[in-house]
Amino acid sequence: MTFAIVSRTLLVLLLTVGHVGLWVWLYNRINATGLHRRTIKRIEKCIVLACAVIPIALVYLEFRSGDSGTGFSEWSAAFLKRSLWDATTYPTKIYGTVVLVFTVVFGPIWLAHRPAFSIAKHRFRVLQRHVDPPMHRENPTWVSGSLTRQCLKLPLNEILSVERNIKQLMIERLPEDFSGMRIGHLSDIHLTGQLTADFYRTAVEWVMAQGIDVLVVSGDIVDYKHAMGLLSPVFGELDPAIPKIFVLGNHDRAYGLVDDVRIGLCEMGWFDAGALDLKLWTPRGLLKVYGNELPWLRRHSSPEIEPLAPEEHASFVLGVSHSPDQFEWGRDRGCHLLLCGHTHGGQIRFPWIGPLVAPSWYGSRYASGVFHRSPTLMHVSRGLSGVHPLRWGCTPEATVLEVVTALAKNGTPRSNVYQST
Ligand SMILES: [Fe+2]
């Protein structure tokens, strides 16, 4: 009897985890599509509703009293005496089977790609890390919106505790002259009007002051029309000697601000890698930049990958994509480094488990961090902000990436290591 109770309780727990996992899985994939934000929001509501209503409905069917149902005491007696299968109604049988199959098939894959297993620990090290104290308590001038002000009252909400970090990345095939190059990487700025320009500008100026060769913003820059006025105070009047590059993200498209943001940044001297591939001549040599705004924004013409001219072989190839789902695209173009955002690190990271929700075809696998698949190293930023001012265990970040040559075990540069898979 004890064994029956334990095993059946474990099975119910497994089904509960599988049920939540199934709908989170769907939620992540829907948000990875290029569907319009309004459509995605509608589907999201259906997903949340289904996740809440299905178990309630099934429990009701199991425990209802009357001619066609059983009361709780009859059901629990049946549960213990007969097999679980016999004790349940057909809707529970069908849905339970679906959930169980999903859990058995996808559960091990999900576990195998937890951050502890998938982050390329051998390809980077953190040189410096500083987390701002919760500045909202001392510096309320950073908050201008009531939603953020209310959310900041929640215990341990990290939305303003920006981590400023410098990470060293080990890059294979790195052209010698680019060793030591520093790239400022910011993502998911989300100008909503909830935070003042000071908040964002503090992060931008810190990155600019770290001796960077180039600054990159990988999408989701402005959310609402009324926040367009923040663009210039945040991104204007920066050192003109440092190239500044951007691509747009899904939020820039959501409210029809694509042209406004592109024009606004270009007028301030920024390079639009989403519209055109770039060749920038820097003191270190030629920096080739490929931009990608898929699946939300498509270029009018999508040129074939140009073969490198002889004088370009010593160039550094940088990919910039809003979504980390473009990892394969970056590899196809031979990017040394691919910079992404979009997933916000999951916004809530649980101890041991890590993030659960991330808008990607890969779920939370690439929620944030450094990932390697030869020949490309991908850095996914946790982003600087978000439309939902909620973060736990997942501080916003402003990052400087310093690239150095990856060494083989015998100490020689990994210059000839190029695997096609
Ligand atoms: Fe974002």
Lowest mean pLDDT among 144-153, 208-217, 239-248: 144-153
Task: Confirm whether 38 is domain-assigned.
Answer: yes
**Number of domain units in the chain:** 2
pLDDT at residue 60 in the model: 84
CA 271 to ligand 1 center in whole angstroms: 20
Task: Confirm whether 414 is domain-assigned.
Answer: no
Over residues 300-324, the mean pLDDT reads 73
* Strands (E) located in 59-159: 124-131
Who contacts 285 (Cβ-Cβ below 8 Å, separation ≥6)? Answer: 175, 177, 178, 314, 315, 316
CA 54 to ligand 1 center in whole angstroms: 30
Q: Quick check: 190 and 393 in contact, CB under 8 A?
A: no
Q: Which of 112, 131, 155 is the last residue of a domain?
A: 112
Q: Do 296 and 330 reside in the same domain of the chain?
A: yes
Q: Closest Cα to residue 359, out of 370, 351, 347?
A: 347
Q: Do 156 and 94 reside in the same domain of the chain?
A: no
- pLDDT over 60 (residue 135): no
Q: Do 144 and 219 reside in the same domain of the chain?
A: yes
Cα–Cα distance for residue pair 361/378, rounded to 1 Å: 16
pLDDT at residue 48 in the model: 92
Task: Confirm whether 227 is domain-assigned.
Answer: yes
In the chain, pLDDT over 90 holds for what percent of residues? 53
Task: Confirm whether 412 is domain-assigned.
Answer: no
Who contacts 34 (Cβ-Cβ below 8 Å, separation ≥6)? Answer: 294, 295, 296
Residue 85 is part of which domain span? 2-112
Task: Confirm whether 418 is domain-assigned.
Answer: no
Instruction: Provide the residues around ligand 1 (an ion) whose CB is within 5 A.
Output: 188, 220
CA 29 to ligand 1 center in whole angstroms: 15
Confidence band (pLDDT; 50, 70, 90) for 356?
Answer: very high
Q: How long, in residues, is the chain? A: 421
pLDDT at residue 420 in the model: 32
* CA 29 vs CA 44, 347, 381: distances in Å: 11, 17, 19
CA atoms within 13 A of residue 147's CA, in its CB half-sphere: 10
Task: Confirm whether 62 is domain-assigned.
Answer: yes
pLDDT digits (tens, 9 = 90+) for 35-84: 888 898 899 899 999 899 998 888 888 777 554 556 666 666 666 666 66
Confidence band (pLDDT; 50, 70, 90) for 153?
Answer: confident
Over residues 252-266, the mean pLDDT reads 92
Over residues 132-146, the mean pLDDT reads 69
Phi-psi region of 180 (alpha: psi -120 to 50; beta: other; left: phi over 0): left
CA 223 to ligand 1 center in whole angstroms: 9
Virtual torsion, Cα 215, 212, 118, 292, nearest 10 deg: 20
Task: Confirm whether 419 is domain-assigned.
Answer: no
- pLDDT over 80 (residue 175): yes
Q: Do 102 and 124 reside in the same domain of the chain?
A: no
CA 42 to ligand 1 center in whole angstroms: 18
CA 178 to ligand 1 center in whole angstroms: 30
Q: Do 264 and 160 reside in the same domain of the chain?
A: yes
Task: Confirm whether 390 is domain-assigned.
Answer: yes
CA 73 to ligand 1 center in whole angstroms: 49
Q: Closest Cα to residue 168, out of 412, 394, 406, 340?
A: 406
Q: Do 323 and 368 reside in the same domain of the chain?
A: yes
